[in-house]
Structure 1
């Protein structure tokens, strides 16, 4: 379900919002016991030129920010970091991060609220500027993750290689970053037909390359304008562009990896689903690391439901609701939360 009124495709979700596997892909529960490695994949077809380009671009997106971080450390040693760089980095981290958590995730993927058209578009644009992929592909992949959580079919489960130590270490690397390089596309027609039918979201999806340029051009231009020199533009690009993207990437990927391996599980999830709550990531992930509750109740607009659990994304949704920008918010009731506790 997107944040428009378009219904969720039945191949990905039931009418209650709980994820189920598509019949053609569902793994027989008797074939997977929750501890052994996933069944061996069929040999992947040879990569086409376009697929090789995809892998090369993905590699650049992953590695270039790390190089920028190293360069940034050298520049910091030389005291070439400015207040404007830090402020710009924080602002863009918050804007693009909430674009992912509120827009891509709780809104477009799970239908936790219905947004007015300008807000839906703005959130999709902000999420696209996170450099985490085009909006339709992101949503389709995440819906597939919920359909097959920690079972064969999950695109980024840390249990892919089993639960023994070597398998867990290999699975952690796979869940965090390795899955990005696999020749394992998620079909949007199956998992996100509602977004394919939405002309506004299709337009944002097409604009993804331009938005990636924009998310780097803005801090460069702002740094130059504020500092009055090319050097200030370069440091703005470095800290508020590349380093900010690096941090947000790894926080998001940590929810995929660490939040299925480390933490607490106070709520019941489906069989084999090992999603956890990991409090150290709560603030910088905007509440996404209360991952156990999210998997227990995917459509809930709030993930941090217990006392003291910071959930900035839910606070933003509440603000938007009071401003009249979103409606039909799926807030968790005490009874619903209690029913899901272990």
Structure 2
């Protein structure tokens, strides 16, 4: 798949506003897992956290997280490699189960972010309101999750026409509500079967469903917020993207954000020695299996030019 960042200027940047129902559902999907995360510590302290819950939570975190980092981001948004039909569908389904929105809307928003990074038009720049302490605090909230509550909709016809023309992706995009139910209830089903108890189903729903979704939400949103505010900037970029190493493991390599903005179509973001990038290693496995081809691995000469220009 070849990424198309924008259509000609004839297409407007925005496509109206979310309906009241759409806006309510966005808030519901963002807030309910967050409430579960807030309740997690006292619940874990007293009862309700077992090895089955931890295993299911980690497994679904990796599955859905890689669906976002490899699928939604590096493949569908930036075309870092080509995938066969089976892998393309699997990545779209896994990413959708992260509950971060349907695949086409997610990609359109992110391509718009790159087209206008930290400038007017960027949907989630923390520099939106200025550089004072108060403005940056407000900007951090906006970049982290406040932008999700805005009613404006990115025009997919301009930013993701290739995905709109893909029948498989259009179908998966429409199935997002079904996949949302599946990502919450499948861990509960497995927890109940593995423990042969309703309690096991309930705790798996809480930990591997709600808490797992909330943690992945905030790791992803931290790339939008923290990784445009603090960290190292070894490569020249048109924006304020930064590499923030504390998030590298949880984000599966996405927090090497300055490296990514310097070379957006690269399949590996952790381009320097010792920079952990789980997503890139999984793409490497896909390549060895023949499921992924034409992988755009970073080229040393291109990276050297980026360093030189800084």
TM-score of the superposed pair, with normalisation by structure 2 = 0.95
Q: Which moved more, 1:57-66 or 1:251-260?
A: 57-66
The answer to whether structure 1 residue 263 and structure 2 residue 259 are counterparts is: no
Residue 302 of structure 2 is matched in structure 1 by 336
TM-superposed deviation, 1:9: 5.4
Q: Post-superposition shift, 1:79?
A: 2.4
Q: 2:244 maps to what in 1?
A: 278
1:11 to 7, 28, 43: 7
CA deviation profile, 1:47-105 (whole Å, cap 9, x unmatched):
7xx62222221221122112222443333232221110000000000000000000000
Q: How does 1:1-342 map to 2 (within 5 A)?
A: 4=1, 6=2, 8=4, 10-11=6-7, 22=9, 51-270=19-238, 273-341=239-307, 342=310
SS in structure 2 of the partner of residue 185 of structure 1 = strand
Asked whether the equivalents of residues 277 and 293 of structure 1 are also in contact (C-alpha less than 8 Å), the reply is: yes
The Cα shift of 1:261 comes to 0.2
The answer as to whether partners of 1:157 and 1:256 remain within 8 angstroms in 2 is yes
User: Would you say how many aligned residue pairs link Structure 1 and Structure 2?
Assistant: 306
Q: Deviations over 1:155-195 (max 9, x none)?
A: 00001101111111100000001000112210100100000
Query: Structure 1 unaligned runs (5+)?
Result: 13-21, 27-44
- CA deviation after TM superposition for structure 1 residue 10, in Å: 4.7
| Residue pair 1:9, 1:193 contacting (<8 A) in 2 also | no
Deviation at 1:25, TM superposition (A): 7.0
CA-to-partner distance for each residue in 1:222-281, whole Å, 9 max, x for gaps?
1100111111100000000000000000000000000000001000012xx000000000
Aligned 8 A contact 1:320 1:326 in 2: yes
Between the aligned partners of 1:7 and 1:248, the Cα distance in structure 2 is 25
For structure 2, the 5+ residue unaligned runs are none
